[in-house]
Chain A
Amino acid sequence: MEEAGAANFRVSIHFSETTSELELPAAMRSRILCHLLVSQIPDRGLGEALESLFEMWRFYREPVPRMIEPPRPQSLPAKLGATYDRPPFHIAED
């Protein structure tokens, strides 16, 4: 919980299961950890955290486009020419 004057900030997590052995999905665990980490960043680091999070938010809100698979390449018959030795190359003085 963060308090500043009359404003305060709380994050609460509600579990709908009553059993003591909760199975949290990995994504949920990550969200909780993110909240925990952000809440522990000192004020001087919040600007940077916000900037980073904004970039991530902007990155991940774009839907992943469906990539079209290129057609499978077809090989073609080729005619083998005669093997020859690479001719020597001459170096001219510039």
Chain B
Amino acid sequence: MHIIVCVKQVPDPESSPARFVVDEQARRVEPRGVPPVLNPFDENALEAALRMKDVHGDGAAVTILTLGHKLSTNLMLKTLGAGGDRLVRIEDDAFAQGQLDVYATCLAIAAAVRKIGPYDLILVGEQAADSNDRQAGVGMAHVLGIPVVTMASNLELRDGALWADRRLANRRERVKCPLPAVVAVSSDGAGLRYPSLVQLKAARSKPAQIWNAQDIGFDAQSSDRRLALRRIYAPRPQQRDCVMIGAESGEQAGRMLAAKLREDGVL
């Protein structure tokens, strides 16, 4: 079994808003001193792959696929330290922020997947914290011509098929899907396991390929885009006039808050 997990490097979404500098002229976001992290949604996808590997051992090989610009080596090592077997790192100026729309991104990832070779499963997170597109899983499946299961959890490989729970509006389904397939892993999973220092050290000797756009046969110039970024601006969260409840003690503040909310018709 060969599982490819797509992971994306993003600036840490939990960083202070002041550190995300919005350059309206250049139409880009400049993170200043924001550490790069694995897209939190992709951590769930990687964990799902590693859990299948826990079950199948060497019978399941996990390839980490990442595509981007100015990638952090330490971050990528973390994915191998956590249990990935091989890293395919595709780095190119063509993949810098704002160069591709989600459709072109799907084409590029599909090109990389084809170059990697035979696979049984491609796992992705539900969305990327930076571009917030939420459609790459379905898009890649479409481009590759294979089925897709979204909002999936409890993945299991059995009898040459994938079994998974998929979350729908008001129910959960256990589904069986032929391989190969794309799976968008649900974000209510447990998050990624922590690699130990020994594992992180061992990760350095795991196989890693570094390719560029040309290596995967992706021509950014001639690739279609469906969406064009027209404008970008910093959000101006509407400031509200905060009524501060001043009190002698916490207990008193709690009672006063309740009274005030009741008086104002909130409660």
Partners in one complex: no
